[in-house]
Each structure stands twice: as structure tokens, then as C-alpha cells.
Amino acid sequence: MIWEVFRQEREGQPFQHAGSLEAPDLVFAEAYAREFYGRRDESFALWIVPRDALHDVREPYVAPVFDRDYRRVDGYSLKVKLKEARERVGAGHAPPGEGGA
């Protein structure tokens, strides 16, 4: 049976995927997880999950179809909009030093 192991670097941190191992049952899985991911005090805690208890979720469930950048804080690029505005107004009105259209 395959198990996935998640480890917590320090108390309060999110658990992160560390790797997988094979073991016949939970007791063995715990022993081996401790061996591979906790032997040198490198983890505050571990989670062990049978691989088939995990649900993988990806495209098309999470696929982006439309460009919805406007929802994101970094979605508006002022630089692009400024350039477009200058082009609409005309290259002659561009501030000195800036490249023409």
C-alpha cells in the first residue's frame, strides 16, 4: 500500500508534501515516515495518508477559460494602459525621452 507523507517544518506551519513510501499498514507507515522524514529532528510533525484517500483535482476542473485578470490584485498593468493611452492621443504628445509609437 502506498502512503503519502506531509511534513510540518515548525509548529504552526502548513504541512507540505514530502514524498511517498510503501508499507503494509498504518503502524509500519508511521514507523517508516518517522524514519525518512523525522529521524534527524527535521520535522515538527507528519501527516500520513493512504494514496487512494487523496483526490487529485486538475484540468478541466481548475482550468482557466476566460482571462479574468481583473479579479486579481496584480491583474491591472498600468504600464500597458499608459502605453495604449499615449498611442491613442498621438506620439507627439508623449513626454520627452519616451520612445515613439
Partner 1 sequence: MTSRAEELLTLADDELILGWRNSEWTGIAPFLEEDVAFSSIAQTEIGHARAFYELAAQELGTNADELAFDRDPEEYRCAPLVELRLVPDWARTIARHWLYETADAIRIEALKSSENEAVAGLAAKIDREEVYHRIHADMWARQLRASPERGRFEGAVAELWPYALGLVEGEQRGQLCSAVGRETVDAVERGTHTEELRPLWEEMTMVRRSVAGAAW
Distance between CA 26 and CA 49 in Å, rounded? 9
Kindly report the length of the chain: 101
The residue from 10, 11, 14, 39 that contacts partner 1 (CB under 8 A) is 39
Q: Say if residue 83 is exposed, middle or buried (CB neighbours under 10 Å; 0-12, 13-18, 19+).
A: middle
Of 38 and 86, nearer to partner 1 (C-beta) is 38
- Should residue 31 be labelled a site residue for partner 1 when binding is judged by CB under 8 A? yes
- State the distance between the two ends of the chain, measured CA to CA, in whole angstroms: 63
Of 40 and 58, nearer to partner 1 (C-beta) is 40
Of 3 and 6, nearer to partner 1 (C-beta) is 3
The residue from 22, 42, 84, 87 that contacts partner 1 (CB under 8 A) is 22
- Should residue 45 be labelled a site residue for partner 1 when binding is judged by CB under 8 A? no
The residue from 4, 5, 7, 21 that contacts partner 1 (CB under 8 A) is 21
CB distance 37 to 46 below 8 Å: yes
Point out which residues bind partner 1 (CB under 8 A): 21-24, 27-28, 31-32, 34-36, 39
